Amino acid sequence: MAETIFSKIIRGEIPCHKVYEDDLVLAFLDINPLSVGHTLVIPKEPAATLDQLSDESAAAIGRVLPRLSRAVLAATGAKDWNILQNNGVAAHQAVFHVHFHIIPKHDDAGLGIGWKQRNFDHAQGKALAAQIAAAVKG
Ligand code: 5GP
């Protein structure tokens, strides 16, 4: 994986406003926040996108996400928030090191979502679900 700005932050070569660290995970404030308290949670493992992340690092992030979310809410007074995780340029990923955004919602500040839902095709859905289930088994 190519070196990213987050590798430098993990190594302490670039400063950050750190809120949490353990052996596998680092969390710090986003430098261009969508709202006050916008926090990034990253694995120390250098995986570009989530599908490339080890189960161990994924579990480590999953273990602390609820606790970090509670802490961000407590510190900012927000009651609502989004978890966002982008993969790939078309999906708005700018830094190619896995990261989860914790984005508090404060009035009009926070994550805006375009949520254009489509009709469900049950025949296509049945075939697709079987295909995905088979791929999960590997
Ligand atoms: P993405 O669009 O890849 O999901 O989000 C990348 C995020 O990383 C952006 O929200 C951006 O503001 C944040 N970011 C990029 N460079 C830095 C940096 O050097 N320090 C911090 N704290 N955040 C950064």
* Centroid of ligand 1 to alpha carbon of 69 (angstroms): 18
At 46 the pLDDT is: 95
What predicted TM-score, i.e. pTM, was given to this entire model? Answer: 0.96
Q: Which of the 8 DSSP states describes residue 109?
A: B
Residue type, 74: A
Q: Pairing between strand 80-84 and 100-105?
A: antiparallel
Percent of the chain scoring above 70 in pLDDT: 100
Q: Please give the C-alpha separations between residue 43 and each of 27, 53, 92, in angstroms, as whole numbers.
A: 9, 9, 19
Which of 112, 113, 110 minimizes the C-alpha distance to 37?
110
Domain 5-137 sits in CATH at: 3.30.428.10
Query: Which residues are known catalytic residues?
Result: 99
> What CA–CA distance (Å, rounded) separates 20 from 41?
9
User: Is 83 in contact with 65 (CB distance < 8 Å)?
Assistant: yes
* Centroid of ligand 1 to alpha carbon of 59 (angstroms): 22
Instruction: Find out whether the beta carbon of 59 lies less than 6 Å from any atom of ligand 1.
Output: no
At 57 the pLDDT is: 98
At 2 the pLDDT is: 80
